[in-house]
A and B are shown apart, each in its own frame.
Chain A
Amino acid sequence: MTTTINAVSGNNLQVSADGSGIIQLQSNGKNTNAQAWVNFSGSTVNASYNVGSITVNGTGDFTVNFSNAFPDANYVISGTTGASSGQLACLTQPAGSYPPSTTACRVQTIYVNGSFIGPTNVSIAIFR
């Protein structure tokens, strides 16, 4: 069952929840809130929303598995990671090797020299 609240006439602002419990805050038909997010450190999941599991594929190599699939894979992945101060690190989505799917996305934590980072904190939010 989908529950919808129209805050403004003409559907300029709409809040809805589908049967799976996913909340959608929409403006002019576009979702504006994160449809999934997770914070984890290595193999420890600290908090999540619409993420059923994290798969550790290797050092600094993770798959985020969604609890509920997205309608397509054209979602936005934003996030941060880091190790020690002074060590430049980044969170990447290696689309060439592992393109995102409707059910999961692969992310990697990498130092500026290209080597994978070991256990570190990762925060990811998905928008669609």
Chain B
Amino acid sequence: MSQVIIYTNTSGNVSVCVPTGELPIETVLSKDCPSGAIIVDDSTLPQGTDAQFFDSWKLNGTTVTVDIPTAIAHQTKALNNLAYTESSHRTSKVGAGLTNVMSDADWATALTTARAAVTASTTTAQLVAAIAPIQSAITGNAL
């Protein structure tokens, strides 16, 4: 267990300041962090799949939680990035005379299903699971 310093940054998200051990944490708090920053044990920060959604963390008092609507927006963007990359890849494979593992119709259905699952998610575990089939399909369609 280590101590870190947390605060709400100018973007409205949570910043985590991690001392290297060269200076006492109280010195780091006063020197490197804004007023209102607090020292907490890092074990109190979101764990597991919640930890993957760092950009969706919100600080309420001394507790950091994941804001699910923000996490959904981030996961939607991540899914769109995956879809964009794979769409180009699928086109390139066809142009090279190769066959995509998943048909265009099945790929479109998988994307629709994933988008619906992301939107309907109420936990970060569900958000991770929602795009897992897309990530698996992309891996399976690699050259």
Contacts and interface: CB of A to CB of B under 8 A. Distances in A.
B104 interface: no
A38 interface: yes
A99 interface: no
Given A67-B22, A115-B81, A53 B55 contact: no
A68 to B, nearest CB: 9
A113 interface: yes
Given A65-B32, A67-B23, A104-B32, A54 B9 contact: no
A59 to B, nearest CB: 5
Chain A CB within 10 A, most for which of B17, B22, B23, B31: B22
A43 B32 contact: no
Given A58-B54, A115-B81, A43 B20 contact: no
Interface range, A side: 20 to 34
Grouping DSSP codes into helix (H, G, I), strand (E, B) and loop, the A interface class, with mixed when no group exceeds half, is strand
Interface range, B side: 20 to 34
Contacts of A44: 18
Grouping DSSP codes into helix (H, G, I), strand (E, B) and loop, the B interface class, with mixed when no group exceeds half, is mixed
Contacts of B5: 53
Interface string B113-124: 000000000000
Nearest to A65: B32
B110 interface: no
Contacts of A45: 18-21
A38 B18 CA distance: 12
Interface of A: 38, 40, 43-45, 48, 50-59, 63, 65, 67, 103-104, 113, 115, 118
13 contacts: A38-B20, A52-B19, A52-B23, A52-B31, A52-B32, A53-B18, A53-B23, A53-B32, A54-B17, A58-B13, A58-B54, A59-B54, A67-B22
